[in-house]
Amino acid sequence: MSKPSILLDFGLLKTNQAFRAVFCARFISILALGLMAIAIPVQIQALTDSTLLVGLAVTLAGGGMFAGLLMGGVLADRYERRRLILFARSTCGVGFVGMCLNAALPEPSLTAIYLLAVWDGFFGAVGVTALLAATPALVGRENIVQAGAISMLTVRFGSILSPAAGGLLIAHAGVAWNYGLAALGTLLTLVPLLRLPQLPPPEQPREHPLKALAGGFSFLFQNKVIGMVALIGALLTMASAVRILYPALAGSWGVDASQLGFMYAAVPLGAALGAFTSGRVAQVARPGWMMLLTAIAAFIAVGLFGLMPWYGLALACLVAFGYLSALNSLLQYGLIQNLTPDAFLGRVNGLWTAQNVVGDALGALLLGAMGAFMLPAMTSTGFGFGAALLGVVLLLVMGSLRRVTRSEPEATLQPAVAQTSGK
């Protein structure tokens, strides 16, 4: 039997109609969100001339997203998932329409922008969580990593193309057009999503939403493998906050603003390369072991980034970090989707995704605090090598994760499930 290609297999788009519908909807959604991502800060800056108020919008949207991920996990385990996805997408579209109407006013309301940013962050997160919980049923658990890689590649390319188009649109037509096209694009995603089959939630006893959420936390902490996967994901997300050091580090290499932009593009480029060459990730015999090794290597790349004497080598370190992080994320995704019982898929996916929001904020806070006492290069190096050392410690102590195999039986999770459900 010939070895599978290292390149990503796109065959799932041809053979699976439901995944094809999700792919089309996701790509349209990424383009719409990219138009929004650049329009909101540009509009607030023009209205207030305050970077603090621009940052407040990002913070509020992130808070709405965090709450939506937690609530969305509970809802996805309780209600029909297809209906929940459609409801969340429609509600986001309504919020974008509100943004467009507000921008068209002679004096747009800053309060309305903030409220609608929270609105869209919340309901967008609810839809994402429901879709993540539904993915194993749509593609089959054996195709989870392949589906995740295709989705990651879509997100990366869309994230590169859409903001650039959004900037041109603002320059020639104004932010109202960005909001309007974002609303249209979001509502268009309903067309392919209507083709999805019914996605009923697993049968389980009704309980208070807070108790259900607590059950998700209990499962995450009681199940050693899933909990350790989430911990590694949080650490890698913290490391990605190294981007806050880019402007300060650029001076040491004598680069201008255009070259600084390449630094911000380097990690997404590496992630896109990682997704495109992830054809064999699903075949890794010991995914937990590989996940720990790629995490340590990614941390080392961050440490080396601060030591590089030349700009080109620094970019190579960032590309390497993006590449290794992408492979690690796919391994995380495969383990979580394959080893989490259906009854907990919504809540665990919500919590796993929420750690991205929290990890990024904590990483930025920690790197910023270190940067107040250390040179930027020393901050990056100290953080990266410190995280790598922690990764080595985790590699030594996380025996359960190291021993997980590709064919790990779902039965290994039953003790944790039983404890969580009180059986």
Query: What average pLDDT does this structure show over 281-296?
Result: 92
Residue 4: pLDDT band (50, 70, 90) is low
Query: What average pLDDT does this structure show over 39-67?
Result: 83
Classify 49 in phi/psi space as left (phi over 0), alpha (psi -120 to 50) or beta: left
Burial of 229 (C-beta count, 10 Å sphere; 0-12/13-18/19+): buried
Q: What is the pLDDT of residue 39?
A: 85
Question: Percent of the chain beyond pLDDT 90?
Answer: 39
- Helices and strands (DSSP H and E) totals, the chain: 18, 0
Q: What is the pLDDT of residue 249?
A: 82
d(CA 85, CA 279): 29
Q: What is the pLDDT of residue 416?
A: 36
Q: pLDDT (tens digit, 9 = 90+) per residue, 88-129?
A: 999 999 999 999 999 999 999 999 999 998 999 899 999 999
Q: Higher confidence at residue 319 or residue 173?
A: 319
Among the ranges given (139-143, 168-172, 188-192), the one the predictor scored with the smallest mean pLDDT: 168-172
Q: What is the pTM of this model?
A: 0.80
44 CB-side CA count, 13 A: 21
Please state, as a whole number, how many other Cβ atoms lie within 10 Å of the Cβ of residue 418: 11
Residue among 410, 422, 361, 423 at smallest CA distance from 214: 422
Residue among 284, 171, 287, 152 at smallest CA distance from 226: 287
Residue 51: pLDDT band (50, 70, 90) is low
Query: What average pLDDT does this structure show over 155-178?
Result: 80
Query: What average pLDDT does this structure show over 377-400?
Result: 94
Token readout for 347 is 């809540």
The answer, yes or no, to whether residue 386 has pLDDT greater than 80, is yes
Residue 379: pLDDT band (50, 70, 90) is very high
Q: What is the pLDDT of residue 188?
A: 93
d(CA 128, CA 164): 24
Q: What is the pLDDT of residue 213?
A: 83
Task: Write the CB contacts of 403 (distance below 8 Å, at least 6 apart in sequence).
Answer: 286, 288
Q: What is the pLDDT of residue 418?
A: 36
Token readout for 131 is 């879709």
Q: pLDDT (tens digit, 9 = 90+) per residue, 295-324?
A: 999 999 999 999 998 889 999 999 999 999
Task: For residue 57, give Cα distances in angstroms to 45, 117, 146, 162, 169.
Answer: 11, 7, 35, 20, 21
**Angle, to 10 degrees, between the axis of helix 246-253 and the axis of helix 376-397?**
120
Among the ranges given (21-30, 167-176, 396-405), the one the predictor scored with the smallest mean pLDDT: 167-176
Question: Percent of the chain beyond pLDDT 70?
Answer: 93
Residue 412: pLDDT band (50, 70, 90) is very low
Query: What average pLDDT does this structure show over 13-28?
Result: 91
Among the ranges given (41-50, 291-300, 394-403), the one the predictor scored with the smallest mean pLDDT: 41-50
Q: pLDDT (tens digit, 9 = 90+) per residue, 326-372?
A: 999 999 999 999 888 888 889 988 888 888 778 887 888 888 888 88
Q: What is the pLDDT of residue 423?
A: 32
Query: What average pLDDT does this structure show over 275-299?
Result: 92
Q: What is the pLDDT of residue 3?
A: 66
Task: For residue 234, give Cα distances in angstroms to 9, 144, 238, 331, 411.
Answer: 28, 21, 6, 14, 26
Please state, as a whole number, how many other Cβ atoms lie within 10 Å of the Cβ of residue 365: 13
